[in-house]
């Protein structure tokens, strides 16, 4: 039963390919169609393709939004204070330690701070982001 459906689908695909690649004059002759009927069919076909593209774009956007919300939740659930308490160190000390041990991602960059030191709040935020991204395992 399954093989029959697959065979029918394959035949349908072959027919569609044949029809879509055939010159208009051949279609008019073979199917006894008028030019107007072909133009109407082409317009319907183009409209359907446009609809499918729009649905695909919307689904892709919806998926991206879902992934973004998942990432946001990860950032909201990070307990930096608990992590710092567990380590018994300050956020800046942990960042320096991770840097020295080369446990930070290779492509990590920190913005130029115009000669200013990083604040504890900045360090906590960087740690929260690294934990949320999975770059730091809080169980270690």
User: What does the buried/exposed string (b/e) look like for 97-122 if buried means 16 or more CB atoms within 10 Å of the residue's CB?
Assistant: ebeeeeebeeeeeeeeeeeeeeeeeb
Q: With 60 as the cut, is the pLDDT of residue 136 above it?
A: yes
What pLDDT, in 10s, does the model give residues 12-67? 888 888 877 888 888 788 878 888 888 888 889 889 999 999 999 999 999 999 99
What pLDDT, in 10s, does the model give residues 86-130? 778 888 888 888 888 887 777 776 665 665 777 888 888 888 888
Euclidean distance between CA atoms 14 and 8, whole angstroms = 10
pLDDT in the model for residue 112: 54
pLDDT in the model for residue 55: 96
Hey, where are the domains in the chain?
2-72, 78-133
pLDDT in the model for residue 51: 95
């Amino acid at each position: 039963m399954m093989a029959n459906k697959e065979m029918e689908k394959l035949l349908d695909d072959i027919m569609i390919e044949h029809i879509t690649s055939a010159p208009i004059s051949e279609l008019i002759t073979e199917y006894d169609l008028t030019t107007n009927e072909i133009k109407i069919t082409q317009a319907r076909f183009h409209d359907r393709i446009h609809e499918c593209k729009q649905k695909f774009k919307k689904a892709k956007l919806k998926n991206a939004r879902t992934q973004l919300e998942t990432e946001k939740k990860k950032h909201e659930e990070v307990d930096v204070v608990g992590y710092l308490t567990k380590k018994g160190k300050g956020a800046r000390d942990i960042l320096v330690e991770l840097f020295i041990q080369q446990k930070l991602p290779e492509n990590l960059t920190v913005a130029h701070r115009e000669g200013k030191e990083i604040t504890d709040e900045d360090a906590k935020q960087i740690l929260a982001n690294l934990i949320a991204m999975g770059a730091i395992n809080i169980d270690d």
